[in-house]
Chains A and B, each alone.
Chain A
């Protein structure tokens, strides 16, 4: 501990490192303020429009339940509390869905449509800063760890006077990691803590998510600290170590993610959205013809052993609508199920692509732990669809169970509308997120393990 404290003291006296830390903390705070403002605005909108939609639904006129089903309403995806730290897929995936009869609507309203220039530059959130800028800061912190000592001659004096290379490396790494925790971990923890307190709902388990999320970011910074220190162990000069570390940064943070993304898209093909919609249309088409409808009507009459629809104990139209919806649901389940499964497989492959670059490992891990990953979006979409189906089934059941004779039209009122509960989606539980996080966490741990192993080997050969 004394060794770490001594190294930390040395780091804190270094103006270059103080500036680096200060700028980094400032960047994180600026990015955090931007996402915080967006989170506050969106949370207020969700509450205001959600209440208005609920009032609109409850306040609709008396009408036929099927008309009410078409009347529909908008439902909103509440933002994850830790979206303040990492908005993940949220700005790109749409956050509101129109719930109405027959149609599995897309989620619309993508926040990225209103994004400012910082977000368009890929630096709009603290997570962006961590993924791209923190490695640079870690390099600036670590590149001189041994190379500058070697260049100055202090390494010769230290090693010749009993400084053991292993503890020397460990002490410097621990001190640099402490400095990273100070300038990266603490601001993130503070921002995330405020977000968890302000936006955290019980289902999110925001606090354990936050701790795991911050630990992942520090782990990622540790990868680049280790990398910079490894290069510093072997480089003759500090300048050489810096140049090599920057080249590695370009490779791992800029080039490799793009190449890995291309590789994943090639190796894990996913069905396109347009093709999915076409297949759904095809699935409906054969079922929607007048002939098919007549055949189903005849089949219903035969099932009940009557010839006249008025002789049925149920409303023929209501029953057929219920059965038609079951067919539609099956088509949606099959086609959208395959579509989302393809995208989920791709997401999992991105986790494995963390083997090529720690940035992809962190990106996946960060979104999963923040609750802003694609799985959460898909979960919301299916939750909204289940809500839509619940409304359709209730409205159709009302028609089916109240047969109208002689062309009379069933009219329902607020009592029925109130039977539809407010939309209150629960997120995927933390346990599921932790299960999804296993692969990217393993990839990040592999990077740390490999680099620590390389350091343990190289440090034994440390020479002045």
Chain B
């Protein structure tokens, strides 16, 4: 674990984070550190605590014990400042159905105190892989993949130090998934730290620098995915399934 306060402080530092729901232990002393430009994948079955970890980082939940720091800030006590350093794509991207993808992006950017021109917003949607003809259509008619792409554009617009991705390729077609992997690597090359919770073992190998296997509420193993094939990763992920978390 790196020093959380020095000049090389990690973008994300989690130390001994514990979280229970209704008496059930979901995270049990989780340790995790992530530096600028790193892509870290959290691997584990449903209920392993991947989304709970992201919720702690965003300050949506408060750890029962341990500490979480985003850029040195505690999201439990300074959630707004901590979240200002992060961008987030949830597993199910929900949009305002009456607005088009372009309008959703510009509106969500405005809420984050960003100013996006129409052309900038269009470029971000292109970058996220949303077809140009869909930019102006109401989001009510979007598929899950199209909504996901708008979510990606929202996150890209933030140019945040930390990118949190919860099952980011879920719902994307193979082409879009490959585009997304390239987008993530491009963000990392610009110095963005990326933490993603995923089941997508194939894309994980393309995107991640490190993989943490979440088991029994802590990182059971941390590995370099490039040396493993998908079958080996799958064996690791499913070795000891955790209990379901809320």
Measured CB to CB, the residues of A under 8 A from B are 2-3, 6, 9-10, 13-14, 152-154, 156-168, 171, 463-464
| Complex contact B96–A6 (CB within 8 A) | no
Beyond the given A158-B112, A160-B58, A163-B108, could you list 6 further A-B residue pairs with CB under 8 A, ordered by the A residue number?
A6-B106, A13-B99, A157-B108, A160-B86, A162-B114, A463-B60
Instruction: Check: B110 CB closer than 8 A to any chain A CB.
Output: yes
Instruction: Check: B231 CB closer than 8 A to any chain A CB.
Output: no
Mostly, the A contact residues are helix
* Interface pick from B150-158, B174-182, B222-230, B236-244: B150-158
Tell me the minimal C-beta distance from A212 to chain B in angstroms. Answer: 34
* Interface pick from B14-22, B34-42, B87-95, B198-206: B87-95
- Give CA–CA (A168, B80) in the complex, Å: 12
| Complex contact A162–B83 (CB within 8 A) | yes
- List of A residues within 8 angstroms of B95 by Cβ: 154, 157
Residue in chain B with minimal CB distance to A158: B111
Of A158, A160, A166, A167, the contact of B164 (CB 8 Å cutoff): A160
Residue among A9, A10, A161 with most chain B CB within 10 A: A161
| Complex contact B96–A156 (CB within 8 A) | no
Instruction: Check: B141 CB closer than 8 A to any chain A CB.
Output: no
Of B86, B88, B113, B114, the contact of A157 (CB 8 Å cutoff): B88
Residue among B83, B90, B94 with most chain A CB within 10 A: B94
| Complex contact B80–A165 (CB within 8 A) | yes
| Complex contact B80–A10 (CB within 8 A) | no
| Complex contact B88–A6 (CB within 8 A) | no
**A2-B115, A13-B98, A168-B111 in contact; A157/B158 too (CB < 8 A)?**
no
| Complex contact A162–B113 (CB within 8 A) | yes
Tell me the minimal C-beta distance from A256 to chain B in angstroms. Answer: 36
- List of B residues within 8 angstroms of A6 by Cβ: 106-107, 110-111
- Give CA–CA (A161, B154) in the complex, Å: 7
| Complex contact B96–A161 (CB within 8 A) | no
Residue in chain B with minimal CB distance to A154: B94
| Complex contact B88–A160 (CB within 8 A) | yes
Instruction: Check: B84 CB closer than 8 A to any chain A CB.
Output: yes
- Give CA–CA (A14, B88) in the complex, Å: 27
- Give CA–CA (A167, B93) in the complex, Å: 22
| Complex contact B98–A464 (CB within 8 A) | no
Tell me the minimal C-beta distance from A462 to chain B in angstroms. Answer: 9
Of A153, A162, A165, the contact of B94 (CB 8 Å cutoff): A153
- Which 7 pairs show the lowest CB-CB distances between chains A and B? A153-B94, A160-B88, A162-B112, A163-B111, A6-B110, A164-B80, A152-B94
| Complex contact A159–B94 (CB within 8 A) | no
Residue in chain A with minimal CB distance to B83: A162
- List of A residues within 8 angstroms of B80 by Cβ: 164-166
Of A14, A161, A166, A464, the contact of B108 (CB 8 Å cutoff): A161
**A6-B107, A13-B98, A156-B94 in contact; A161/B158 too (CB < 8 A)?**
yes
Residue in chain B with minimal CB distance to A463: B60
Residue among B86, B90, B92, B99 with most chain A CB within 10 A: B90
**A10-B96, A152-B94, A162-B87 in contact; A157/B107 too (CB < 8 A)?**
no
- Give CA–CA (A464, B92) in the complex, Å: 13
A-B contact pairs, 21 of them (CB 8 A): A3-B111, A3-B113, A13-B99, A153-B90, A153-B93, A154-B94, A156-B60, A157-B95, A157-B151, A158-B108, A159-B58, A159-B83, A160-B86, A160-B88, A161-B155, A161-B158, A162-B83, A162-B86, A162-B112, A164-B80, A463-B60
Tell me the minimal C-beta distance from B126 to chain A in angstroms. Answer: 19
- Give CA–CA (A439, B88) in the complex, Å: 49
- Give CA–CA (A156, B111) in the complex, Å: 13
| Complex contact A464–B60 (CB within 8 A) | yes
| Complex contact A157–B154 (CB within 8 A) | yes
- List of B residues within 8 angstroms of A163 by Cβ: 108, 111-112
Residue in chain B with minimal CB distance to A160: B88
- List of B residues within 8 angstroms of A14 by Cβ: 98
Tell me the minimal C-beta distance from B72 to chain A in angstroms. Answer: 18
Residue in chain B with minimal CB distance to A148: B96
Interface string of B147-178 (1 = CB under 8 A from A): 00001001100101000100000000000000
| Complex contact B164–A162 (CB within 8 A) | no
- Give CA–CA (A463, B151) in the complex, Å: 19
- List of A residues within 8 angstroms of B88 by Cβ: 156-157, 160-161
Tell me the minimal C-beta distance from B183 to chain A in angstroms. Answer: 16
- List of A residues within 8 angstroms of B87 by Cβ: 160-162
- List of B residues within 8 angstroms of A154 by Cβ: 94-96
- Give CA–CA (A154, B164) in the complex, Å: 16
| Complex contact B86–A167 (CB within 8 A) | no
Tell me the minimal C-beta distance from A402 to chain B in angstroms. Answer: 86
- Give CA–CA (A160, B86) in the complex, Å: 7
- List of A residues within 8 angstroms of B96 by Cβ: 10, 152, 154
Tell me the minimal C-beta distance from A144 to chain B in angstroms. Answer: 12
- Give CA–CA (A2, B108) in the complex, Å: 12
Tell me the minimal C-beta distance from B215 to chain A in angstroms. Answer: 26
Of A10, A162, A463, A464, the contact of B107 (CB 8 Å cutoff): A10
Residue in chain B with minimal CB distance to A13: B98
- List of A residues within 8 angstroms of B58 by Cβ: 159-160
- List of A residues within 8 angstroms of B111 by Cβ: 3, 6, 158, 161-163, 168, 171
Tell me the minimal C-beta distance from A160 to chain B in angstroms. Answer: 3
Of B90, B98, B113, B114, the contact of A160 (CB 8 Å cutoff): B90
B52-105 residues with Cβ-Cβ distance < 8 A to A are 58, 60, 80, 83-84, 86-88, 90, 92-96, 98-99
Residue among A13, A160, A165, A171 with most chain B CB within 10 A: A160
